[in-house]
Amino acid sequence: MAAIIVVFFHLTEPLATSRLDNVVNHGYLAVDFFFLLSGFVVGYAYDDRWDRLTIGSFLLRCFKRLQPLVVLGMTLGAIGFYFTDSPIWPLIHTVPAWKLIVVMLIGWTVLPIPLSMDIRGWQEMHPLNSVAWSLFFEYIANVLYALGLRKLSNKALACFVVLAGAVLLHFAVTSPNGDVTGGWTLNFEHMRVGITRTIFPFFAGLLLSRVARPGQVKNAFLWCSLLIAAVLLMPRIGGAEHLWMNGLFEAFCIIIVFPLIVYLGASGLVHGPMETRICKFLGDLSYPLYMTHYVLVYFYVAWVSNHKGITLLEAWPYALLTFAGAVALAYASWKWYDEPVRRMLR
């Protein structure tokens, strides 16, 4: 559900006049939720298996799970690159094919490109598939977990998480933008934002997996979906006059609400084959949807920029068509590429 809302966030973003009036205003917080969920899942799946695991075998498992769709997203972004012609990307016509290929090959590794190799003009570390910046930090968190932070006792981990939470709260409240956005550019400012957004939620999720004892919550999927939608669809708080208020709201969501949602989800009971199939389908679709949807969003953003002044009411048929295409592309990527490749890698 969070991945679906992310797609709608990226479809409404080019129609907003500023960060204050996007219809899906806090959609970017889904990334922070994903980090927390990842930390919980990693702890739940691997914390008690290190007598049979090595650092290399753990990282290889991460690679097999994450990397195939990283490669696909970059490849699809490269294929569509020259067709996303728009005044907002003036560099496209100046990029030779060899440079596009080099950027794609670097993108396959999920390592960020320097600003000197920017081929789109948005100063992104992954200009062929914008959302891959979060995978770069996901890998950093997994590496830190494997190299030593997994060895922390619960008390030590709790102290580390509290300290990281304090850093996150300070950043959110004092941010010049009044939010926690950032992390997609290879410079000091964005790297600081990316690390701040990653460390607390990932290791808070890890701590939650160790100390929480999930109960039995009826209709957990419904309640979790409503809560994540309430957070991500919440209008901007405080306006331009009180930016700190929005930062405080976002810190509260990341530190308090997101762990609550993950706990409720872990406590959920799935009843019957139909509910099982629905939950499994949405769970399997979420990562392919996240990793491939922006390939189509580039075309949509170019179309919006070429129709200046277009409103949401005028653009919604195209947005809905892009969303449907993103779901279809994600399903095809999952069934015809990701699953077969991961089977082969195993």
pLDDT string in tens for the chain (346-residue length): 999 999 999 999 999 999 899 999 999 999 999 999 999 999 999 999 999 999 999 999 999 999 999 999 999 999 999 999 888 998 999 999 999 999 999 999 999 999 999 999 999 999 999 999 999 999 999 999 999 999 999 999 999 999 999 999 999 999 999 999 999 999 999 999 999 999 999 999 999 999 999 989 989 999 999 999 999 999 999 999 999 999 999 999 999 999 999 999 999 988 889 989 999 999 999 999 999 999 999 999 999 999 988 999 999 999 999 999 999 999 999 999 999 999 999 8
pLDDT of the residue at 271: 84
Alpha carbon distances (Å) from 289 to 39, 105, 199, 212, 296? 20, 22, 24, 29, 11
pLDDT of the residue at 224: 96
How far apart are alpha carbons 93 and 95 in whole angstroms? Answer: 6
Q: What is the pTM of this model?
A: 0.96
Please state the φ and ψ torsions of residue 268, each to the nearest 5 degrees: -70, 145
pLDDT of the residue at 272: 86
Q: Which long-range contacts (CB under 8 A, 24 or more apart) does 14-23 make?
A: 14/300, 14/301, 14/304, 14/305, 15/304, 15/310, 15/311, 15/312, 15/315, 19/177, 19/179, 19/181, 19/236, 20/236, 20/239, 20/240, 21/236, 22/236, 23/312
pLDDT of the residue at 90: 87
How far apart are alpha carbons 268 and 262 in whole angstroms? Answer: 10
**Residue 25 in tokens:** 């205003």
**Residue 203 in tokens:** 């290791």
How far apart are alpha carbons 200 and 163 in whole angstroms? Answer: 8
**Residue 165 in tokens:** 């939470």
pLDDT of the residue at 325: 98
How far apart are alpha carbons 87 and 237 in whole angstroms? Answer: 32
